[in-house]
Structure 1
Amino acid sequence: MSSNNIVIIIGGGISGKLAARVLSDYYKEVIILERDQETIGPLSRKGAPQGEHLHALLHAGEHGLEELFPGITEDFYHSGAVKINSTIDLAWYHHGAWKIRYDGGYSTTLQTRPHLEWHIEQYIKKIPNIEVYYNQAVQGFLYNEEQNQVMGVQLKDKTINADLVVDASGVSSLTSSWINKRGIEIPEEIMDINLSYISKQYLLSAHEERDWKIKMVYPNPPLEKMGGTISKVEGNRYIVTIMGYHHSINESEVLKNDNGFLELARKLPKLDIHQEIEKGIPLTKTSIYRIPKIIWRRFDKSKYSPNGLLLIGDTVCRIDPVFGQGMSIAILQALALQKLLRKQKGELHNVPISFHKEAAKIISPIWNMVITEDFRYPATNGKKPFGLSVQQWYAKNIFLLSSQNQDVYNAFVKVMNLVTPITSLMKPSIIIEVLKFAFSNSRKS
């Protein structure tokens, strides 16, 4: 433990809990300030409306979470989470082709977000120097302008001083509005994707034999804008999430009755999901979550961001959730923070600056991979990366090769699960396979 006394974390969601776990080793007192009331079980909460929809914990995220909370993966399974073989139990229709299925030796955990978050919270409650204060809305920062130093936070009826403040409150954070009011320039990368998520849980027929535990039907852009996933989760339930880019879903029609969700599923590129749920029993109401834009706030590039203030998770970058990388990015950021804290050995005043640079290294390749796909839709607005058309051509061939070439798909699985960098898809052996595949297809057409 260092001589640092108090760290305040704004937001008790997944990013906030991860930050608390890491910082508890270096601060005498860690205080989490959460707007919501305390949950009494793995239930959805008002402050995380996205929790009603399907979430994924990628391989890198799952391994990192286990590192931070030893034994948590087994706890997931003991309370009903579903363990699957990632490349056998997943049926994935992508860019007009089904991925090859084989035993790659990878496992994945299927569960709802509330189930995952509640288990993390149980671990947090066991750490003696972490306190969670619920029903707390932070109204402002205590700020020393001369030193450009955040000194704590202002609540409704009191102030709390701190050596460090961590904002983990999400994309609509206090920091964003506070910085804008002060005229501080933080470079931003913004993409308009106008994405809608529509979800519902079902009980499916137990008499049907299924050769999958999760099935994903993704669109083939730019003509197809809708995709969907059906996944088994705890409690022998199935969660169905349908997503649509650029206002492709008529939400008012979907919300009219249960049949509206069924009719939406009928519009997917394949009828597999519709055929499952038309014989199923709805367990929940239809939930909608909108992501008009994705945004990356480049605190790593700012010369004027305040000392004593660290941003993590969606507060820094909200990425396209269709690719299921958000929670895993937060875990990788927490591990990066842990590594920095170990390196500083108690000299923590430079940690926020260093952390924002490390977070950018994590986000950058994932952001570029995601926007390469988002730009397949002409309606997507934002700054296009250099060489976009070449990247899209190469990625498309990787996707299609993954339906027939096990080595290529295996490499792609590792990249998608954030285990290996995207540059691993540029190995000579894979480039040769892509060129052969593309040349063969061009001769056929």
Structure 2
Amino acid sequence: MFNKQKAIIIGGGISGKLAARVLSDFFKDVVVIERDTESLGPYPRKGARQGEHLHALLHAGQYGLEELFPGITENFYASGAVKINSTKDLAWFHHGVWKLRYDGGYTTTLQTRPHLEWHIEKYIKKIPNISIYYNHVVKNLLYDEDENRVYGVEIQNNDDTLKTQKADLIVDASGAGSISSSWLEKLGIHIPNEKVEIGLKYVSKSFQLPDNNTRDWMIKIVYPNPPIEKIGGTISKVEDNRYIVTINGYQDAIDEKEAVKNDNGFLELAKGLPKLDIYNEIKDGSPLSKTSVFRVPQIIWKRYDKAKELPNGLLVIGDTVCRIDPVFGQGMSIAILEALALQKIFRGDRDTLQRSIIRFHKKVPQIIAPIWNMVITEDFRYPGISGKKPIGLSIQQWYAKKIFLLSSQNQDIYDSFVKVMNLIQPITILMKPKILTKVLGQIMSKK
């Protein structure tokens, strides 16, 4: 089963756990270095400041997670996660119109990020050749200049003791502020990147809502209509009959000091959404948590695939490579798709370990590129957003807007959009002749 000896993973977040699961099939020993303390349940952790905000697991992510951890979806539901009909139980106000509501046969799981991560960790702990070092921080990478190879890490525990660990493979899954990019720059290896300044702020709070027999949704999204509107929000049912409300604002449109001042500050923020639906739900609700703030001033894609002479033995994954706009809920699903790609490469690769690393780094952009393009096409609807714009941006924005509006009228078009949004079909399906005809027909009807 094992044809390689040891892998060390920097970071025990979702990407790190997924990498550990995959590599446990191919390495005799897998060690995860995690700076946080061991979680005793589905609770937010210090190292994942975004954990108190709303998260989504898209269909591609949900199917992939089940493939990696058989039975985990039912375990989610058994411990309180909410199973919904993706198109029937979602009320979505998007670009000034409400999406159609119908039974498309898709299911989505609503839950908090700590709940999801806790279940993944329980699976990881059952794998005998995975060890997790909690309260440990990687301080440096061990490097052999003659071989141009990373061969281990220097780690520090919470009593400041330093020690080294050697391995055949070092995986950096520590996120956007990872050690790898700064360490490589010091080594003289430049990592090209694509960066877009979005000035995003998340403000979230949990509520207990009063009973309401007319409530016909499990999750409701009120999305801003750019460029005029910059603030949107989502209210979602999660485990323990709670509701999370997350309000997001681009270009620093949210005054976070007012929002966190008291409960009324959060209500006033909700009152400023394009629709009063969320405010009307929570104004008579009972707050269950403090108001949390998370900032994403920029999104960035570090192009490790374009870097020259990367050291052997180093593999990067997850937010270490790309932090994407979280409003679209794609981050966790991207991490899962990357883990599945890594698994496929190791299963089919009889070449050297380094060749497998190179193949993975070349595969990752194929996963990220179409998603990145979709996201920044929307982000660039706001004037003043800085960054590299995709080719044909205005045409893409025009066509996407037509699809958004038709999704309020045409079930076939919305159904195709749902597949694209959930990363189970490429965006090209929205350009099939049948959909093109509908788009053109809408234009002609207005002449």
Class of the TM-score when normalised by the shorter of the 2 chains: over 0.9
- Structure 1: 4+ residue segments shifted above 4 A: none
**1:282 maps to 2:287:** yes
Equivalent runs, 1:86-97 vs 2, <5 Å = 86-97=86-97
> Do the aligned partners of 2:417 and 2:430 also contact (CA within 8 Å) in 1?
yes
**Counterpart pick for 1:166 among 166, 171, 175:** 171
Tell me if 1:359 matches 2:338.
no
The aligned amino acid for 1:306 is: P
Equivalent in the alignment of 2:24:
24
Q: CA separation of 1:207/1:389 partners in 2, compared to 1, >3 Å: closer, same or farther?
A: closer
Report if the CA contact (8 A) 2:181-2:191 is conserved.
no
Q: CA deviation at 1:252?
A: 0.8
Secondary structure, counterpart of 1:350 in structure 2 = helix
Give, in whole Å, the separation in 1 of the partners of 2:398 and 2:93.
18
Aligned to 2:424, the other structure's residue is in SS state coil
CA contact (8 A) 1:72 1:119 kept: yes
The residue that corresponds to 1:220 in the other structure is 225
Does the 8 Å contact 1:2/1:346 carry over to 2? Answer: no
SS at match of 2:261: coil
The amino acid across from 1:434 in the alignment is V
**Which residue, out of 233, 237, 243, partners 1:238?**
243
Deviation by residue 1:231-281 (Cα, 9 ceiling, x = unmatched): 000000000000000010011111111000000000000000000000100
**Does the Cα contact within 8 Å between 1:3 and 1:346 map onto a contact in 2?**
no
Question: 2-side partners of 1:192 and 1:249: how far apart?
Answer: 16
Question: How far apart are 1:439 and its partner, in Å?
Answer: 2.8
Moved more, 388-397 or 202-211: 202-211
Q: What does residue 206 of structure 1 align with?
A: 211
Tell me if the contact between 1:336 and 1:358 (Cα under 8 Å) persists in the aligned partners: yes
2:85 counterpart of 1:85: yes
Matched with 2:194 is 189
Matching of residues 293-372 of structure 1 within 5 Å: 293-345=298-350, 347-372=352-377
1:137 and 1:155 in contact (8 A); partners too: yes
Looking at structure 2, the residues matched to 394 and 425 of structure 1 have their Cα atoms a distance apart, in angstroms, of 9
Alpha-carbon separation, structure 2, partners of 1:366 and 1:256: 36
| Closer, same or farther: CA 143–3 of 1 in aligned 2, 3 Å | same
SS of the residue corresponding to residue 279 of structure 1 reads: coil
Deviations 1:295-352 (A, max 9, x none): 0011111222111111110000000000000000000000000000011147322122
Structure 1 runs not aligned, ≥5 long = none
Residues 95, 221 of structure 1: 8 Å contact kept = yes
- Mapped contact 2:189–2:308 kept (Cα < 8 A): no
Q: Return the letter of the residue paired with 1:205.
A: P
Stretches of structure 2 lacking an aligned partner (at least 5 in a row) = 157-161
TM-superposition CA deviations, 1:113-136 (whole Å, max 9, x none): 000000000000000000001000
Which residue is equivalent to 1:153? Answer: 153
Cα distance in structure 2, aligned partners of 1:345 and 1:124: 26
Structure 1 SS opposite 2:55? coil
2:159 matched residue in structure 1: none
Q: Would you say the 8 A contact 2:197–2:387 is kept in 1?
A: yes
Which residue is equivalent to 1:63?
63
Tell me the number of residue pairs that the alignment of Structure 1 and Structure 2 aligns: 442
| DSSP-derived class of the 1:220 partner | coil
TM-score, normalised to structure 1, is 0.98
Q: For residues 342-390 of structure 1, what are the alpha-carbon distances to aligned partners after superposition, in whole Å with 9 as ceiling and x for unaligned?
A: 1114732212211011111000000000000000001210011110000
Verify: 1:113 aligned to 2:113, yes or no.
yes
The answer as to 2:134 corresponding to 1:129 is: no
> Which amino acid in structure 1 is aligned with residue 250 of structure 2?
Y
Are positions 1:395 and 2:400 aligned together? Answer: yes
CA drift of 1:208 comes to 4.3
Moved more, 59-68 or 199-208: 199-208
How far has the Cα of 1:4 moved from its partner? 1.4
CA contact (8 A) 1:53 1:241 kept: yes
